[in-house]
Structures are given as structure tokens and as C-alpha cells.
Amino acid sequence: QLQLQESGSGLVKPSQTLSLTCAVSGGSIGGGEYSWSWIRQPPEKGLEWIGSISHTGSTYCKPSLKSRVTISVDRSKNQFSLNLSSVTAADTAVYFCARVQVKYSSSEYFDFWGQGTLVTVSS
């Protein structure tokens, strides 16, 4: 069974860069033509897709976040990462990593998720 686990700094100062890593176990991140995503949930709000990285290494992001988001994959460590620059209090959220699936569908969906990690932006 595939498992994903987020890790990273739980407290980030405003204007700094938020950095998170998602460790994948129970399967190879490079196995199969999967993409990998980051999704977040601000306190008392709904889910928000941040962006994804495909098996070819290309990235695609929510348009409003595109200028601040960097997503990368480290196949040697079987993990992928998120950097979100110039953070503000509005970036405070639980951040989830997930595997993207496109089988039997005209739109991608997320079949395996991590439990999420809370990141607070505060001075």
C-alpha cells in the first residue's frame, strides 16, 4: 500500500519561504506515469490545489500561486518537495501531498494522500 508522509517546518516567518517534503513509501515515485501534487486547507476553509509535478518533471500550478511555487522531485530519495516563497498569514494551512491518478477519467484526481502537516506563518 502506497503511503505518503509530509515533513517540514511548522512555523515560517512572513516573507520567507515555506519548504515541505513528501516521502513516498510502498512504491517508487518514478514507477509508472504518475504525477504528484500538493494541496492545502487553511483553517476553517476548504481544500485548495497548489500544484503538481508530472513524471516528466514538468510542473503546473494554480494560476494565482504560480509565481511563488516551486515543486521538485528527488527520485534517489523517493520524495518530492514544495517551496512557497514570500509567504503571508494567508498561507497558514494544513498542507497535504498526494498522488495524481488519471485512469478512467477526463480529469485528474488524487488516490493516495498524506495525513497533512500544519504550517503556520507568523513572526
Per CB under 8 A, residues contacting another protein are 4, 37, 46-49, 52, 60-63, 96, 98, 101, 104-116
How far apart CA 93 and CA 38 sit, in angstroms, is: 12
Q: Which is nearer to another protein, 88 or 105 (CB)?
A: 105
CB 62 → another protein: shortest distance, Å?
6
Residue 16 or 21 having the CB closest to another protein? 21
Nearer to another protein, 9 or 41 (CB): 41
* Residue 52 · residue 100 · CB < 8 Å: yes
6 and 96 in contact (C-beta within 8 Å)? yes
CB of 105 to another protein, least distance (A): 4
